[in-house]
Chains A and B, each alone.
Chain A
Amino acid sequence: MGKHMSRSSRVAAALLALWAAAGAAEEQRFAALPTELDIYGEVPVVLTASRLAQPLDDAPAAVTVIDRELIRLSGAREIVDLFRLVPGFLIITDNAGIRAVTLHGLADVYSRRFQVLVDGRSVYLPSLGGVAWTDLGISLDEIERIEIIRGPNAAAYGANAFLGAINIITRHGAETVGDLLRARGGEDHIRDGYLRIGRTHGDLDWRLVLGRERDTGFEGRPDTRDIRFLSLRMDWQASATDRWMLKSGLTGGFRQDGRIGRPGDPPRPIDVLSHYQHLRWSRAEGGDELMVQLYHQTHRMDEEYTLEQSIGAFPLTIRRDSLIVSQRWEVEVQRIGVLRPGLRTVLGASSRLDRVRAREYLGREGWLSNRLQRVFATVELAPRPRWTLHGGLMVERDDISGTHLSPRLSLNLRPHPLHTIRLSVSRGYRKPLLAEEYGDGTLRGTVDLGGGPVPVYIPTFRSSGGLDSERIISRELGYVGRFKGLTLDLRLFLDRLDRLITSFERPVPLTFPPGTTVEALDFANRRSAEVQGAELGVSWRSPRWRMHGSYAYTRIEAWGDAEAAELERSAPQHVWSLLVSRRLPEGWRASATYYFIGAWKALGFADPIGAVRRLDLRLERSGGRTHPWRVALVAQNLLDTYPETRYRPGKGPNFFDTRLFIELVMQR
């Protein structure tokens, strides 16, 4: 005890000394008067080309930006929930801990056709595809903004930016100097804690984040989760032009899965552990920027449990030990250059290694890997203020599917400075996952025929292999208009998707009883689809008000196999949302968000879901100039209970009733 005390007091003393040193430096500056050095001295470039958000009317694609204010006003607790504000986006919920995001349907709970980047690091899982949203280890408080590219943009983001790309940009260390403590508690046993410590030492800014998120998920479902995370970000301004960023994070905990009262799917925890390291150097001069980055990440999911079932009259015991480890390494170089006014280029290259270990799914003990190299270039040519031409090309080569060229061309016409019309056409690919190409899943168990246990093997996956990449060709007509604080973003699109990888069941012989077969999953490039629709984004802001609306109309036509029609119902015809917020006197702020999702059925889910209506309210009071604080009360879904997608037969719906929680944030 005494030893512990002395250690903590030593740490406290060290912190105090740091504090005092910082104070002394402030004091020194206090005495100073501005001189010619303040006016003519060199200043580092803060808003570099990569940090600046591209305005909607200049972008070669349809983009929705969710900024910090919108994140706060939405009352969202998780990143996934924010995508409800984006035209055409759908959230697929297996249970509280397993969720996916897609644009215009075509997805199951492992949405595989999306690229997701966090500060330029791809968090897409090479094993099962999709993103483990709950394990990202990012709290909404750290996010500066999220840019969502609606529509394929493989030319800029590479394969898997198939239906779209999500770009999460976190806050710079200089912005989070000070301490922040957030506590959140509410129904469904929401108990979240978050502590952020940020410091600055001249040119070095850092923050350390410690967080924990807990809840018991949906009523009647064993989907409790408890996730803890620790992360560090350091930003060092080495000179007026050079900067370094180091990020590192560790996430661990469990998410529960299964079903009460079903022996084949017992409630059990899935242990998750993930970590990443990300180093980036950049040099910015004027509009030019050179960036080199290197990162690594490992995601681990583990569940171990025993199933007691039977084959005929014989007891069958299956021991599941389904560890899935996904690993990604990447090194990337990128250069943004302004060759002359009106001509901007982005050139880059990267090399990536993906590795997966998943015995139960891949049928082998060791690592299975895939290497990917790519080179990309985009050119933005604006010879006249009235039009901008964007051209992009990505060349990618990987071990599974070979070389692909993803081009993109778009023309932005500006008949009036406030009105822009965009025409674009692009082609993109989605490379097969390691599990799709090499899937060889087997459950191992024993059957007792009376004379003691005999091993049995039950096939679950049997990939025939030889898969080709999925291909999308997208054509769109867009319009962006600005009217005094109001921005309108309209997009009409026609996407043609071919060689869609589809899972199907194939009979595979069982070792026991002899002569019997079991249905195992296989994958093939079987289906095609044509998706057309319209999207509308509206945003309006004034010093007091903020409004953000989205609407999407979707029609899907699909063919290729007997069940291809299920793709046609994988997106609702109409989906929309509207957020309205107003600042009130005395630091009060109120916001309301309404969501409407038409009838649809995500792939792999049993029943269609009827139209869903949801209303969220949020009321906030904030204050404090040097020690800011805020209290917010959030009520999610004040209307009727609705099913938040349903999973396979027997798993039951995820009923979302009204959920209340309160949030307290203090800073110093």
Chain B
Amino acid sequence: MRLVALLPLLLGAGTAAARTTVVVLYDPAQVPHVRFIAAFEEALAQQAPEARLVLRPLGAALPERRPRLLVAVGYEALKAALPGEQPVLAVLVPRVTLEAAIARAGRRLAPDGTVTAVYLDQPPDRRMRLVRLILPGARTLAVLLGPTSRRQRPALERAARIQGLRLRIGEVGPADRPPRVAESLLPGTDGLLAVPDPLVYNRYTLHGILLSAYHHHLPMFGFSKGYVRAGALAAVYSEPQDVARTAAELIRSALRRRLPPPAYPRLFRVAVNRHVARSLAVTVPDERRLEALLRAAEERDR
């Protein structure tokens, strides 16, 4: 039995000397995971043809032989992959979550450690730049931070400062009602920037927060396409297939040189809710144009 399992590995090693096994741990029941994998296989074939993908549904036993690299798709897979020593590439996990998870598992991030990632959330610079492109006259942005997202405060403030924005931050504790904190925070600001934190933003609180922002005639900048559908004015986000492209690039570098440090997805999209834009009387450029402007600005920064 063991021999049979090893056979393809041995054969693979025989035909192409440098073929390396990359095991992907994912949940086949989750649509974003499946979409990630489809795009990942394709991107990897181009970026690192030497890699050989082995797909493992969550819950199935990991291969006996230690793979060269373990790709963990999503938070559950990450929790399963972290114990042990093998190099891990985490995808579809927000930055704060990854950092909390590796701290809990006692591991460290590359280049010092053996864990790297393509974050699921967007870099603060990109988000602030989008706000600036849509609201050229904005001065103050309201931000609700919870126990988890609180750690992003310095990074958000730095990114805001670069765009000439001031942040008015409302901290939400476990006993607070997020819509009410929003209600007291919003007057006098130019918009609300949503930052993922399940205590602050969940399907129960979103209603109150969005309505509160709307009643103050203020746009919300969401962090997903779903938020834009729900009523946020705009969001910059990455689809699983966008994340897959950046992940394939990281793997190429990991297999040929060393494990690179974590990165934000290089590909991203912008979504705009035209109904909300119309209602708030905000003139928002076309989505494709916003994407091009963001991309050009990031090129310049590099």
Query: Which residues of A does B touch, CB under 8 Å?
Result: 23, 26-27, 29-30, 32-36, 38-47, 49, 52-55, 57-58, 67-69, 144-145, 171-172, 174-175, 177-178, 200, 202-203, 205, 237, 286-287, 341, 417, 482, 484, 541, 543-544, 583, 624-626, 628, 667
- Give the docked Cα–Cα distance between A178 and B207 (Å): 15
Q: Do A35 and B97 touch across chains, with their CB atoms under 8 A apart?
A: yes
- Give the docked Cα–Cα distance between A33 and B281 (Å): 35
Give min CB distance, B172 to chain A, whole Å: 10
Give min CB distance, A200 to chain B, whole Å: 6
Q: Do B281 and A175 touch across chains, with their CB atoms under 8 A apart?
A: no
- Give the docked Cα–Cα distance between A541 and B97 (Å): 40
A-B contact count (CB 8 A): 175
Interface residues of B in 277-302 (CB under 8 A from A): 278-281, 283
- In-complex Cβ contact of B230 among A44, A69, A482, A628 (8 A): A44
- Give the docked Cα–Cα distance between A544 and B189 (Å): 10
- Give the docked Cα–Cα distance between A399 and B47 (Å): 76
Q: Do A33 and B96 touch across chains, with their CB atoms under 8 A apart?
A: yes
Q: Do A54 and B92 touch across chains, with their CB atoms under 8 A apart?
A: no
- Give the docked Cα–Cα distance between A544 and B188 (Å): 7
Let me know if B74 is at the binding interface, CB within 8 A: yes
8 closest residue pairs by CB, A with B? A47-B231, A34-B196, A174-B207, A43-B226, A35-B75, A33-B97, A543-B188, A52-B279
A47-B214, A47-B275, A57-B281 known; A41 vs B226 contact (CB < 8 Å): yes
Interface-centre pick from A46, A49, A57, A202 (highest chain B CB count, 10 A): A46
Q: Do B281 and A172 touch across chains, with their CB atoms under 8 A apart?
A: no
Question: What residues of A have a CB within 8 angstroms of the CB of B202 in the complex?
Answer: 29, 38
Q: Do B227 and A43 touch across chains, with their CB atoms under 8 A apart?
A: yes
Give min CB distance, B103 to chain A, whole Å: 11
> Which residue of B has the minimal Cβ distance to A203?
B204
Let me know if B43 is at the binding interface, CB within 8 A: no
- Give the docked Cα–Cα distance between A420 and B240 (Å): 42
> Which residue of B has the minimal Cβ distance to A58?
B278
A203-B204, A625-B184 known; A46 vs B231 contact (CB < 8 Å): yes
Give min CB distance, B151 to chain A, whole Å: 11
Q: Do A53 and B211 touch across chains, with their CB atoms under 8 A apart?
A: no
- Binary A-proximity of B182-215 (CB < 8 A = 1, otherwise 0): 0110011110000011110111101110111011
Stretch at the interface among B9-17, B50-58, B173-181: B173-181
Q: Do B199 and A30 touch across chains, with their CB atoms under 8 A apart?
A: yes
Question: What residues of A have a CB within 8 angstroms of the CB of B74 in the complex?
Answer: 35-36
Question: What residues of B have a CB within 8 angstroms of the CB of A544 in the complex?
Answer: 188
Give min CB distance, A582 to chain B, whole Å: 12
- Give the docked Cα–Cα distance between A8 and B268 (Å): 57
Q: Do B203 and A29 touch across chains, with their CB atoms under 8 A apart?
A: no
Let me know if B93 is at the binding interface, CB within 8 A: yes
- Give the docked Cα–Cα distance between A39 and B91 (Å): 13
- In-complex Cβ contact of B215 among A68, A287, A667 (8 A): A68
A38-B196, A55-B281 known; A26 vs B174 contact (CB < 8 Å): yes
> Which residue of A has the minimal Cβ distance to B276?
A47
Let me know if B147 is at the binding interface, CB within 8 A: yes
Question: What residues of B have a CB within 8 angstroms of the CB of A42 in the complex?
Answer: 226
Let me know if B217 is at the binding interface, CB within 8 A: yes
Question: What residues of A have a CB within 8 angstroms of the CB of B101 in the complex?
Answer: 33
- Give the docked Cα–Cα distance between A40 and B215 (Å): 26
Q: Do A26 and B226 touch across chains, with their CB atoms under 8 A apart?
A: no
- Binary A-proximity of B156-183 (CB < 8 A = 1, otherwise 0): 0000000000000010001111011101
- In-complex Cβ contact of A36 among B92, B183, B212 (8 A): B92
Give min CB distance, A31 to chain B, whole Å: 9
Question: What residues of B have a CB within 8 angstroms of the CB of A27 in the complex?
Answer: 174
Give min CB distance, A337 to chain B, whole Å: 13
- Give the docked Cα–Cα distance between A203 and B204 (Å): 6
**8 examples of A-B residue contacts, CB within 8 angstroms:** A23-B175, A45-B231, A175-B208, A175-B211, A202-B204, A203-B204, A287-B274, A341-B274
A49-B275, A53-B279 known; A29 vs B229 contact (CB < 8 Å): no
Question: What residues of A have a CB within 8 angstroms of the CB of B184 in the complex?
Answer: 624-625, 628
Question: What residues of A have a CB within 8 angstroms of the CB of B226 in the complex?
Answer: 39-43
Question: What residues of B have a CB within 8 angstroms of the CB of A417 in the complex?
Answer: 283
Q: Do B201 and A38 touch across chains, with their CB atoms under 8 A apart?
A: yes
> Which residue of A has the minimal Cβ distance to B223?
A39
Question: What residues of A have a CB within 8 angstroms of the CB of B124 in the complex?
Answer: none
Let me know if B237 is at the binding interface, CB within 8 A: yes
Q: Do A34 and B148 touch across chains, with their CB atoms under 8 A apart?
A: yes
- Give the docked Cα–Cα distance between A99 and B229 (Å): 43
- Give the docked Cα–Cα distance between A30 and B31 (Å): 26
Q: Do B207 and A237 touch across chains, with their CB atoms under 8 A apart?
A: yes
Question: What residues of B have a CB within 8 angstroms of the CB of A45 in the complex?
Answer: 229-231
Given contacts A44-B206, A55-B280, A177-B179, 19 further A-B contacts (CB under 8 A): A26-B174, A27-B174, A39-B196, A39-B223, A40-B224, A40-B226, A42-B226, A43-B226, A47-B214, A52-B214, A52-B275, A68-B215, A69-B216, A175-B215, A203-B203, A205-B207, A543-B140, A543-B188, A583-B187
